[in-house]
Amino acid sequence: MLDLTVIPASGATLPEVRINRHLIDGVFTPSRTGPGTSAVTPEVPGQARDGDSGWIERLSPSHGTVVSRAPIGTIQIAELAIAAARSAFDDGRWSALSGKARATVLLKVADLIEANADRMALIETLESGKPITQSRGEITGAADLWRYAAALARTLHGDSHNSLGPDMLAVVLKEPIGVVSIITPWNFPFWILSQKLPFALAAGCTCVVKPSELTPSTTVILGELLIEAGLPAGVVNIVLGYGQPVGATLAQDPRVDMVTFTGSTAVGRGIAAAASGTLKKVALELGGKNPQVIFPDADLGAAADAVVFGVYFNTGQCCNSGSRIIVHEDIAKPFTARVVELSRRVAFGDPLDPATQVGAIVSRDHGAKIDAYVTAARKAGATVALGGAALQVPGLGPQFYQPTIVTNVTPDMAIAREEVFGPVLTVLTFRTLDEALHLVNDADYGLSAGVWSENIHTCLTFARGAQAGTVWTNTWMDGFPEVTFGGVKQSGLGREIGRQGLDEFMEIKSLVMRIGRTRAPWVRPR
């Protein structure tokens, strides 16, 4: 008897199918044909296309019905968008504005996002399968990122050197890097876009955005809000469709100065390779296999709750998912039992019901991938202590997965090393701090890590030794616009949000000046 908490279908009426369009040079445009024609294609997540036109129908992963349609972008459409961003940058219609003027637009966008939060949250939930309360939190939280970026736009400054000697002065300028391609995933479509776009705009860049083919709508709604807020045409362009050819074109085109990508490590590698042809700047936010280490002296109640939050939040489809815990041997059994018990109380089910904490898996293919990891672990000798199969939610489609906890795991198993991206927790054990750090660092990824202990020496020694972009101490997944974020090792390149998040979109130029006395001649007089 699994005894899980399941929220059945709420019976809410779904809105009309949303029709999305590319945004190029301030105009919303279809690819070639309109929806409802014979060119409509069924959704095949992740499948590469030849770039011809047609429409992608997005089926809600929780409800199984069509919720949006988007044109399949072509190389030509991507190139038009790049050309629009290029000329918008080159004529200075945005980059030449004062920081104050740019901040005014960004603040207006933040207000408009908040005013439209309900409709944005609804479509985000229907496309992604995440609970409506969390979609709303994502949208309103993202508005705060736009406000923070506006503050950066006004306080942006370089550096000066006034101690180079009496005749010299140097000024270090920060200049916008130019045209930026922004490629985003489906798991936090609007949040991740907002970790990039307002910072690029604050810096004075112009952009071409490609959202995931699974979750395009909130990005296109944002396009409408940008126009309403008075952003000049061509400063932000949006191209819909698949990674091939749209994303690939955005990564390799010589008119693009930088590509910033969030998604899987495999695609990130391809983007870095495509960008290398013109040596454009590349920023990558990739996968993670993030450990939480639990010491016996920790507040074990708080730790268990954070472990459960860390693994099931966003159905585990989260780059920061706390997907592996490393528990001290002395407490491993009772702690795991506590986590299993708490897991039964987490509400899985209809994402439209405000009581739901965990919704659907984004696609059928992805659900099968999650299940394959659990099956392989079972075969390799691991124990499935909870879950391990699809979850039946009364009245809804098949794309739900049970909260799953896998024990008797060894560090070499795929489930302990690779990103499952589902509601699946693996449990490893340790005896000493050194051993825990070895397990943490014996990984290809290095996005985030956590430590739970009441001993400050333990916490700080761990934090300094862990190879990760973020280390949480006695908490998990707290984030702030002010605090920069990014990964080490194969979790990424570069940083987002915080002051460093703005610097990513800037070039540095040094002005070295002689003042007062003229320069001593190099050529000797005859």
Q: Which residues are catalytic?
A: 285, 319
- DSSP characters for 214-226? TS-HHHHHHHHHH
Q: DSSP alpha helices (H): ranges in 160-242?
A: 189-203, 217-228
Q: Kindly report the CA angle at 406 between 403 and 409, in degrees rounded to 5? A: 160
**Residue 66 Cβ, how far from ligand NAD at the closest point, in Å?**
19
Question: What residues between 414 and 453 interact with ligand NAD by CB under 6 A?
Answer: 419, 421, 447
C-alpha to C-alpha distance for 142 and 198, rounded to whole angstroms: 10
CB-wise, 187 or 217, nearer to ligand NAD? Answer: 187
Longest dimension (CA), the chain: 100
**Residue 46 Cβ, how far from ligand NAD at the closest point, in Å?**
6
- Binding status of residue 137 toward ligand NAD by CB under 6 A: no
- DSSP characters for 258-304? EEEEES-HHHHHHHHHHHGGGT-EEEEE-----EEEE-TTS-HHHHH
CB-wise, 391 or 493, nearer to ligand NAD? Answer: 493
- Binding status of residue 240 toward ligand NAD by CB under 6 A: no
- Binding status of residue 500 toward ligand NAD by CB under 6 A: no
Contacting residue, 5, 33, 41, 244, with ligand NAD by CB under 6 A: 244
Question: If we measure between CA atoms, which residue out of 15, 18, 9, 5 comes closest to residue 398?
Answer: 9
Total of chain residues touching ligand NAD, rule CB under 6 A: 33
Question: If we measure between CA atoms, which residue out of 384, 375, 371 comes closest to residue 343?
Answer: 384
Contacting residue, 71, 247, 316, 387, with ligand NAD by CB under 6 A: 247
- Binding status of residue 455 toward ligand NAD by CB under 6 A: no
Q: Kindly report the CA angle at 406 between 403 and 408, in degrees rounded to 5? A: 165
Question: What residues between 472 and 491 interact with ligand NAD by CB under 6 A?
Answer: 487, 491
Residues 406 and 377: beta-carbon distance below 8 Å: yes
* Number of helices (H), then strands (E), in the chain: 15, 26
Going by their DSSP bridges, the two strands 40-41 and 55-59 should be labelled as parallel
Judged by CB under 6 A, which stretch of 69-77, 117-125, 217-225, 241-249 contacts ligand NAD? Answer: 241-249
Query: What CA–CA distances, in Å, run from 279 to 124, 244, 420, 525?
Result: 35, 20, 32, 44
Contacting residue, 56, 251, 409, 466, with ligand NAD by CB under 6 A: 251
Q: x/- string (CB under 6 A) for ligand NAD, residues 364-403?
A: ----------------------------------------
- Binding status of residue 256 toward ligand NAD by CB under 6 A: no
Number of C-alpha atoms within 13 angstroms, CB side, residue 406?
Answer: 31
CB-wise, 271 or 331, nearer to ligand NAD? Answer: 271
Judged by CB under 6 A, which stretch of 9-17, 259-267, 292-300, 453-461 contacts ligand NAD? Answer: 259-267
- Binding status of residue 81 toward ligand NAD by CB under 6 A: no
- Binding status of residue 285 toward ligand NAD by CB under 6 A: yes
Contacting residue, 73, 99, 176, 243, with ligand NAD by CB under 6 A: 243
**Residue 263 Cβ, how far from ligand NAD at the closest point, in Å?**
3
Question: If we measure between CA atoms, which residue out of 97, 59, 53 comes closest to residue 77?
Answer: 53
Judged by CB under 6 A, which stretch of 51-59, 116-124, 179-187, 353-361 contacts ligand NAD? Answer: 179-187
- Binding status of residue 504 toward ligand NAD by CB under 6 A: no
- Binding status of residue 287 toward ligand NAD by CB under 6 A: yes
Token code pair at residue 63: 């409800």
Contacting residue, 212, 399, 484, 490, with ligand NAD by CB under 6 A: 212
Q: Give strand pairing partners of 464.
A: none
Q: Which amino acid is at 303?
A: A
DSSP reduced 3-state for 316: helix
Residue 103, burial from CB neighbour count under 10 angstroms (0-12, 13-18, 19+): buried
Judged by CB under 6 A, which stretch of 117-125, 282-290, 470-478, 513-521 contacts ligand NAD? Answer: 282-290
- Binding status of residue 248 toward ligand NAD by CB under 6 A: yes
Judged by CB under 6 A, which stretch of 201-209, 236-244, 308-316, 341-349 contacts ligand NAD? Answer: 236-244
Q: Give buried/exposed letters for 492-505 (b at 16+ CB in 10 A, else e).
A: bbbbbbbeebbbbb
- Binding status of residue 186 toward ligand NAD by CB under 6 A: yes
**Residue 285 Cβ, how far from ligand NAD at the closest point, in Å?**
3
Contacting residue, 176, 185, 422, 446, with ligand NAD by CB under 6 A: 185
Judged by CB under 6 A, which stretch of 151-159, 231-239, 284-292, 329-337 contacts ligand NAD? Answer: 284-292
Contacting residue, 146, 190, 242, 462, with ligand NAD by CB under 6 A: 242
Judged by CB under 6 A, which stretch of 27-35, 104-112, 209-217, 291-299 contacts ligand NAD? Answer: 209-217
Question: What residues between 300 and 339 interact with ligand NAD by CB under 6 A?
Answer: 319
- Binding status of residue 209 toward ligand NAD by CB under 6 A: no
Residues 315 and 358: beta-carbon distance below 8 Å: yes
Query: What CA–CA distances, in Å, run from 504 to 170, 235, 429, 494?
Result: 22, 18, 38, 7
**Residue 80 Cβ, how far from ligand NAD at the closest point, in Å?**
18
C-alpha to C-alpha distance for 251 and 483, rounded to whole angstroms: 27
DSSP reduced 3-state for 73: coil
**Residue 261 Cβ, how far from ligand NAD at the closest point, in Å?**
6
**Residue 269 Cβ, how far from ligand NAD at the closest point, in Å?**
10
> CA 436: distance to chain centroid?
28
Residues forming the site for ligand NAD (CB under 6 A): 183-188, 192, 210, 212-213, 242-244, 247-248, 251, 262-264, 267, 270-271, 285-288, 319, 419, 421, 447, 487, 491-492
